[in-house]
Amino acid sequence: MKSLIVSAALAGLATAQSLPLIPLPVSVKTQEGAFDFSVATAIRYDRSLKADVDLLVSELKALTGTAPQTGTEEQRNLFPSEIRLDVDAAADLPAGGYQLDISPKTVVITGKDSAGVYYGTRTILQLLPPIGDKAWKSSTPKKLPALQISDYPRFAWRGMMLDVGRHFYPPEDIKQFINWMAFHKLNVFHWHLTDDQGWRIEIKKYPKLTSVGAWRDSSPPYGNRNADDGQRYGGFYTQAQIKDIVAYATARHITVVPEIEMPGHAAAAITAYPELGNSDIPGYAPKVMTRWGVHPYIFAPKEETFQFLENVLTEVCDLFPSKFIHIGGDEAPKTQWAQSKTAQEVMKRERLKNENELQSWFVRRIGKFLESKNRRLIGWDEIQEGGLPKTATMMVWRDAKWGKHALELGNDVVMATTSHTYFDYYQAPAGAEMAKGKEYEAIGGHLSLETVYSYNPAFIAANPAQEKQILGTQAQLWSEYFKDMKKVQYMAFPRIAALAEVAWTPLALKNYNAFSTRLDGVMKHYDGGLVNYSKPVPPAKRETKDGGTLETSLGIYQNHWPELAFDGRADTFFWADRALRTDDHLTLHLKTPLAAATAVAVVTGGPASTNGDTLAAGVLEASADGKTWTKVADFSAGKSSGTAPTGTGHLRVRVSAPQENWLIVHEISIEGK
């Protein structure tokens, strides 16, 4: 069934790619005409879908200002215009699949299950004008193109991870974030609730976790990660708030997977209850951490600790119906265990060779407890150090080799590698982002929209059986540099759209250029929803704007090719990779010589470099034959401008004195070109 649908989809791909739909549906066929959607359009539904209908009614009311009428399938009242929602468990579709039939007379969504119906309604909402659009001020019906869509997700796990340990976001912000996940047909909200810098979940049995562990004395300000702002910071979610958020997500077919970090990243918990740490080591003085990074405080492997963790997880399981409970397991320094007499005695008693095996023993014990609660343990890929527990699911974040290792052992994995899914990395080059202001600071790295889109989570699978062990993928929003939801949105959007298509759409249907076209329509919904998204920048191409060529005596830093100095874009530039020597050059060979004397200018240096990398001493030269050169102008303060003579076919930036700093050339400007 799946292969047939994908084959059919390829035939109708051009049609689908013209629609503002993300993720791209599996199969789209056009029909004649359009459906007129208006305030008179009612919803008829299967009685089992009442909760989904209530949501759709509220969403359509937000668009039109009027709540649509509704009626169950059994009711005989006639509507002049209607959307029908139905469930067919026998439909030849995977879980979460749906069929959408839009004709001039009606709209019918048939889901394999209620989730499938819900995803079909997301498709309808994407096809309608966004909230606040001027089209809604008119009573003229909105046209839904007549289509037949058959659609289903590629992966069962399609997630976003949000860290609230470093920065806390109010419940309403969390709900808003969940709304946008649902808009993109994502279905797992991985909630990172505890860390060294804060404990964010109320545990009734241990009130100090929030009265003490939820608060730190200071935080690093934007722009200086090694400084302190001196402001007490914190917050936590009450159990009532958590239940409300879980219910809110569940109504939108999103599972909330809680993460309670152990054995490392535990400083906040140990500060609240110092007896849980390795108190028998020298200089033991836990505190809720005020700086980012990895810190040494780790839970002690003793009975008192396990009793605490089991009590905590009991309350966690009562709050979260998720099949999976995430226990972290990453970045757990072993230095305190190596110093602790208690930890060493446990290793001796359990015949463990080293501290890595002690961590795996720790994880296995927690895993058995979760099994007693009918839950499954999931953890970051460090849980395999010392041996991967047989029943654990691995979340792969460092190197894909750990995912391959888990698959070979028969364990399930969720792909969350830094290479493609870490949304705390810059959306654009760091220098360009930081030039906008200190509040644009990120942890480092550059993860472009195109790179996210290029991800194939199943690339590690050696065979179809292993591919089934890959549950899916998710993006990570580590919040060290996200002080508020506005910054979270800036880092998440529009990369969330790329991640959604990676997780949903068959690999054979993906095309970045077409995705970019559809994204334009989806970003209108971002605008309507007042999302603070990063405007995507087309990837740079190694070509000049006139078809000419550039050459240089200098090396090239990363992908800042010479051609980017003459491509007509303000956001790209050539960047050398070493100090400058006398007579180093960047030379432009024009495709067509200048027909008349023409004004030319060159600007060097830029915010991408901490040193500026401006040309301190140099000359701009012109030549008709590329051999005999005439000075146009000297460089002053990194800039040069003058008039190139008639017949100039070559322009050269030549270094006239050595300098330690590298060189950035932003753009060679030629009047009329």
What pLDDT score does 14 carry?
Answer: 52
**What letter does residue 388 receive in the DSSP assignment?**
-
Domain match, 176 and 128 both: no
Look at residue 162 and tell me whether its pLDDT is greater than 70. yes
Domain match, 145 and 165 both: no
Cβ-contact 413, 462 below 8 angstroms: no
Look at residue 267 and tell me whether its pLDDT is greater than 80. yes
Query: Does a structural domain hold residue 542?
Result: no
Query: Does a structural domain hold residue 530?
Result: no
Query: Does a structural domain hold residue 526?
Result: no
360-362-364-366 Cα dihedral, nearest 10 degrees: -150
Q: How many CA atoms lie within 13 A of 218 on its CB side?
A: 11
List the beta bridge partners of residue 45.
Answer: 72, 85
- DSSP readout, 31-65? EEEEEEE-TTEEEEE-GGGHHHHHHHHHHHHHHHS
Look at residue 157 and tell me whether its pLDDT is greater than 60. yes
Query: Does a structural domain hold residue 544?
Result: no
Cα-based angle 379, 380, 381 (whole degrees, multiple of 5): 115
**Distance separating alpha carbons of residues 385 and 387, to the nearest angstrom:** 5
Residue entry with tokens 């600007």 = 603
Give residue 673's pLDDT band: very low, low, confident or very high (50, 70, 90).
confident
Q: CA-based Rg of the chain, rounded to a whole angstrom?
A: 29
What pLDDT score does 538 carry?
Answer: 78
Cβ-contact 301, 263 below 8 angstroms: yes
Q: What average pLDDT score do residues 508-528 get?
A: 96
**Distance separating alpha carbons of residues 345 and 463, to the nearest angstrom:** 43
**What letter does residue 576 receive in the DSSP assignment?**
B
Mean pLDDT, the chain, integer: 94
Query: Does a structural domain hold residue 240?
Result: yes
Domain match, 575 and 458 both: no
What pLDDT score does 9 carry?
Answer: 44
Chain-centre distance for alpha carbon 388: 27
Domain match, 120 and 43 both: yes
Domain match, 138 and 166 both: no
Q: How far is CA 394 from CA 389, 417, 462, 475, 552, in A?
A: 10, 12, 17, 15, 47
CATH number at residue 580: 2.60.120.260
What's the pLDDT tens digit per position in 178-218?
999 999 999 999 999 999 999 999 999 999 999 999 999 99
Q: What average pLDDT score do residues 608-629 get?
A: 92
**Distance separating alpha carbons of residues 40 and 28, to the nearest angstrom:** 27
Cβ-contact 403, 415 below 8 angstroms: yes
Of 362, 363, 471, residue with least CA distance to 407: 471
**What letter does residue 148 receive in the DSSP assignment?**
E
The one-letter code for the residue type at 621 is E
Give residue 570's pLDDT band: very low, low, confident or very high (50, 70, 90).
confident
Task: Tell whether omega for the bond before 129 is within 30 degrees of 0, i.e. cis.
Answer: no
What's the pLDDT tens digit per position in 177-189?
999 999 999 999 9
pTM metric for this prediction:
0.87
Q: Which of 151, 176, 209 is the last residue of a domain?
A: 151
Q: What average pLDDT score do residues 521-541 get?
A: 92
Give residue 611's pLDDT band: very low, low, confident or very high (50, 70, 90).
confident
Domain match, 128 and 172 both: no
Query: Does a structural domain hold residue 528?
Result: no
Chain-centre distance for alpha carbon 5: 29
Domain match, 458 and 386 both: yes
- What is the bridge-based pairing of β-strands 106-111 and 81-87? parallel
Helix and strand numbers, DSSP H then E, in the chain: 20, 30
Q: Which of 151, 175, 199 is the last residue of a domain?
A: 151
Give residue 6's pLDDT band: very low, low, confident or very high (50, 70, 90).
very low
Q: Could you tell me what percent of the chain has a pLDDT over 90? A: 89
Q: What average pLDDT score do residues 559-572 get?
A: 91
Of 205, 174, 217, 214, residue with least CA distance to 318: 205
Task: Tell whether omega for the bond before 23 is within 30 degrees of 0, i.e. cis.
Answer: yes
List the beta bridge partners of residue 191.
Answer: 162, 258
Residue ranges with strand state E in 291-389: 324-328, 376-380
**Distance separating alpha carbons of residues 600 and 644, to the nearest angstrom:** 6
CATH number at residue 334: 3.20.20.80
Give residue 8's pLDDT band: very low, low, confident or very high (50, 70, 90).
very low
For residue 276, give every residue at least 6 positions away whose Cβ sits within 8 Å of its Cβ, in sequence order, or none. Answer: 266, 269, 270, 299, 300, 304, 305, 308
Domain match, 139 and 170 both: no
- Residues of the chain by 3-state class (helix, strand, coil), percent to 5: 35, 25, 45
Look at residue 1 and tell me whether its pLDDT is greater than 50. no
378-383-387-392 Cα dihedral, nearest 10 degrees: 0
Query: Does a structural domain hold residue 535?
Result: no
What pLDDT score does 67 carry?
Answer: 96
What pLDDT score does 54 carry?
Answer: 97
Chain-centre distance for alpha carbon 479: 12
Give residue 418's pLDDT band: very low, low, confident or very high (50, 70, 90).
very high
Task: Tell whether omega for the bond before 141 is within 30 degrees of 0, i.e. cis.
Answer: no
Domain match, 334 and 459 both: yes
**Distance separating alpha carbons of residues 502 and 499, to the nearest angstrom:** 5
- What is the bridge-based pairing of β-strands 425-426 and 549-552? unpaired
- DSSP readout, 579-632? -B-TT-EEEEE-SS--SS-EEEEEEE--TTSTT----SSEEEEEESSSSS-EEE
Q: Which of 453, 483, 505 is the last residue of a domain?
A: 505
Higher pLDDT, 489 or 17: 489
Domain match, 327 and 451 both: yes
What's the pLDDT tens digit per position in 72-131?
988 877 898 999 999 999 999 999 999 999 999 999 999 999 999 999 999 999 999 999
Cβ-contact 260, 316 below 8 angstroms: yes
**Distance separating alpha carbons of residues 191 and 165, to the nearest angstrom:** 10
Phi, psi of 426 (to 5 degrees): -60, 140
- DSSP readout, 445-506? EE--HHHHHT--GGGG-SSHHHHHHEEEEEEEE--TT--SHHHHHHHHTTHHHHHHHHHHS-
Residue entry with tokens 């608060």 = 215
What pLDDT score does 262 carry?
Answer: 98
**Distance separating alpha carbons of residues 302 and 448, to the nearest angstrom:** 45
For residue 148, give every residue at least 6 positions away whose Cβ sits within 8 Å of its Cβ, in sequence order, or none. Answer: 27, 28, 29, 31, 99, 100, 101, 102
Q: How many CA atoms lie within 13 A of 321 on its CB side?
A: 11
Chain-centre distance for alpha carbon 518: 18
244 sits in which H/E element: helix 239-251
CATH number at residue 133: 3.30.379.10
What's the pLDDT tens digit per position in 38-71?
999 999 999 999 999 999 999 999 999 999 999 9
Query: Does a structural domain hold residue 651?
Result: yes
Look at residue 307 and tell me whether its pLDDT is greater than 50. yes
What's the pLDDT tens digit per position in 358-392?
999 999 999 999 999 999 999 999 999 888 888 89
Domain match, 490 and 561 both: no
Residue entry with tokens 């757990």 = 332
Q: Return the active site residues.
A: 195, 265, 331
First vs last C-alpha separation in the chain: 54
Look at residue 10 and tell me whether its pLDDT is greater than 50. no
Tokens matching residue 73? 């399938």
Domain match, 135 and 177 both: no
Of 269, 259, 263, 260, residue with least CA distance to 196: 269
Cβ-contact 24, 509 below 8 angstroms: yes
**What letter does residue 517 receive in the DSSP assignment?**
H
What's the pLDDT tens digit per position in 446-498?
899 999 999 999 999 999 999 999 999 999 999 999 999 999 999 999 999 99
Look at residue 558 and tell me whether its pLDDT is greater than 90. no
Look at residue 15 and tell me whether its pLDDT is greater than 70. no
Range of the domain at 126: 2-151
Tokens matching residue 167? 């920065």
Number of compact structural domains in the chain: 3
